[in-house]
């Protein structure tokens, strides 16, 4: 008969799942809790299954409280308790664990208190790599973004004053003050066009047309800045990942930083699962591969050869006959660096020593295969 788990065992289990990124269990608890919170607001559904909804919500809350306590304990044991508690992750964990109980203690209605379960969604934020990338983009492009924001506010205020002056006599209720006109300016500049307030004078409509065009321009600028910055950040991340993979390949070990940077711009990475066919015999070859991690199996006539980390293959189709001479399959999860034919020729022209090494290896393999 198995022994029941005590607190130390539970603590070890929680510590294993309470790492830096949100765990799968936490994602499941977040999704379950938010769905149950939504069901709580639908009277017929809640009346039909209120016991299950209540049990599910309390179970999710217990999970988040337990996770928060374990993370606090680990942080204080490693002498960084206050650092964690006051960090963004720590504050989000605290809000997820304490918001609903605090509301209940302060006398809030049960259904009202459980609406704070929507804060559990914030626990997803620290584990999302894309949001960290967005934060970096916002910091790097803060100057241009703020400049466009200033233009937006200027157009907003100028349009509000202009339409107030032109429409106040014709529509005193809708445009009787600048704040009232400001609502129209926001709806128009964001091209939302709710239609509840519209200018009726010729000059007022002219201002409205100008504001709508400005709105398209402002949001186009914001979109362009963010899209360009995201593309640059993505290229940077890909470059760093490829650089790290290139430096692991012994074939490139003798290259200097400038040459490695040159090679990195040419290579693209490919992550493959086990038992994936990379090359089929008889196909036309238009690229070669370097093994950054993992292993591949080359199916030659009468034998099978395995190539591990640091090896390369597929170069023979680029040097001579462009048809592949063997089937090649991954034996496990592998990361490959791919060099296309055009880039291969450029690389060989720029680095004759690499060309010589690849040519010698190709000759050796050709003799071995024959």
Q: Give domain 253-369's CATH architecture.
A: Sandwich (2.60)
**Chain-centroid distance, C-alpha 329:** 30
Strand 327-330: give its sheet, edge to edge.
Answer: 277-279, 327-330, 296-300, 303-307
Phi, psi for residue 68 in degrees, rounded to 5: -65, -45
Phi, psi for residue 288 in degrees, rounded to 5: -125, 165
The yes-or-no verdict on residue 239 having pLDDT over 80 is no
The yes-or-no verdict on residue 148 having pLDDT over 80 is yes
CATH number of 142-233: 1.10.287.70
1: helix, coil or strand? coil
The yes-or-no verdict on residue 19 having pLDDT over 50 is no
The yes-or-no verdict on residue 29 having pLDDT over 80 is yes
pLDDT digits 0-9 by tens, 307-324: 888 788 887 767 766 678
Residue 178: pLDDT band by 50, 70, 90 thresholds? confident
276: helix, coil or strand? coil
More confident residue, 194 or 287: 287
Q: Which residue pairs, CB below 8 angstroms and at least 24 apart, start in 174-183?
A: 175/199, 182/156, 182/157
- Global pTM value: 0.57
30: helix, coil or strand? helix
CA atoms 89, 93, 96, 101: torsion sign: negative
Q: Which residue pairs, CB below 8 angstroms and at least 24 apart, start in 52-58?
A: 56/32, 57/33, 57/114, 57/117
pLDDT digits 0-9 by tens, 44-84: 888 888 888 889 999 999 998 988 888 888 888 887 878 88
- Contact (Cβ atoms closer than 8 angstroms) between residue 209 and residue 198: no
Nearest by Cα to 330 from 271, 270, 281, 276 = 276
pLDDT of residue 58: 92
Nearest by Cα to 185 from 214, 157, 221 = 157
- What does pLDDT average to over the chain? 80
CA atoms 75, 80, 84, 86: torsion sign: positive
**Mean pLDDT, range 96-115, rounded to an integer:** 89
């Amino acid at each position: 008969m198995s022994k029941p788990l005590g607190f130390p065992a539970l603590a070890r289990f929680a510590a294993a799942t309470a790492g830096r990124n949100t765990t799968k269990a936490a994602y499941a608890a977040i999704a379950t809790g938010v769905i149950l919170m939504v069901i709580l607001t639908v009277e017929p559904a809640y009346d039909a299954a209120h016991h299950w909804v209540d049990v599910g919500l309390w179970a999710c809350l217990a999970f988040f409280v337990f996770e928060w306590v374990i993370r606090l304990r680990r942080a204080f044991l490693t002498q960084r308790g206050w650092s964690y508690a006051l960090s963004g992750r720590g504050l989000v964990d605290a809000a997820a664990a304490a918001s609903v109980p605090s509301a209940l203690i302060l006398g809030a209605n049960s259904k009202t208190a459980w609406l704070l379960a929507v804060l559990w969604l914030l626990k997803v934020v620290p584990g999302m790599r894309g949001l960290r990338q967005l934060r970096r983009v916002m910091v790097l492009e803060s100057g241009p973004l703020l400049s466009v924001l200033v233009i937006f506010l200027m157009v907003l205020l100028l349009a509000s004053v202009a339409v107030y002056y032109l429409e106040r006599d014709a529509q005193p209720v809708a445009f009787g003050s600048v704040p009232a006109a400001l609502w129209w300016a926001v709806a128009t500049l964001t091209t939302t066009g709710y239609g509840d307030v519209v200018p009726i004078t010729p000059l007022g409509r002219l201002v409205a047309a100008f504001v709508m065009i400005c709105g398209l321009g402002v949001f186009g600028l914001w979109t362009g800045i963010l899209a360009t910055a995201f593309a640059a950040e993505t290229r940077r991340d890909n470059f760093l990942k490829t650089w790290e993979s290139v430096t692991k390949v012994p074939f490139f070990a003798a290259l200097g930083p400038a040459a490695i940077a040159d090679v990195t711009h040419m290579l693209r990475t490919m992550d493959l699962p086990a038992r994936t066919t990379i090359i089929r015999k008889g196909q036309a070859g238009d690229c070669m591969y370097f093994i950054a991690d993992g292993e591949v199996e080359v199916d030659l006539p009468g034998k099978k050869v395995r190539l591990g980390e640091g090896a390369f293959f597929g170069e023979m189709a680029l040097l001579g006959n462009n048809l592949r001479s063997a089937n090649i399959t991954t034996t496990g999860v592998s990361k490959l660096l791919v060099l296309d034919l055009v880039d291969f020729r450029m690389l060989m022209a720029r680095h004759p020593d690499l060309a010589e090494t690849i040519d010698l290896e190709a000759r050796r393999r050709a003799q071995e295969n024959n």
